[in-house]
Amino acid sequence: MSKPGASPGSAPPDDIEQLELRITALKQQAVDLRLQLYERTEEPQAACAV
C-alpha cells in the first residue's frame, strides 16, 4: 500500500526489493513443505506395500 499523499505505484525500490526477497523465500518454503508432505505420505504407503 502506498502512503497517503503518495502517487500510486511510487513505492521506494528498497521496499519492492525486500518484498521480492520475501516472496522468493516464501515460495521456497512452500516447495520444501510440499516435498516433506509428499515424503510423509509416501513412506506409509511403501510400508503397507511390503
pTM of the model: 0.59
Is 2 within 8 Å of 11 (Cβ atoms)? yes
C-alpha cell read off for 49: 506395500
Q: How far is 38 from 4, CA to CA, in rounded Å?
A: 45
Can you list the pairs that 17-23 forms with residues at least 24 positions away whose Cβ atoms lie under 8 Å? none
pLDDT in tens, 12-22: 689 999 999 99
Q: Please name the helix (run of DSSP H) or strand (run of DSSP E) that holds residue 26, with its range, or none.
A: helix 13-49
pLDDT in tens, 24-39: 999 999 999 999 999 9
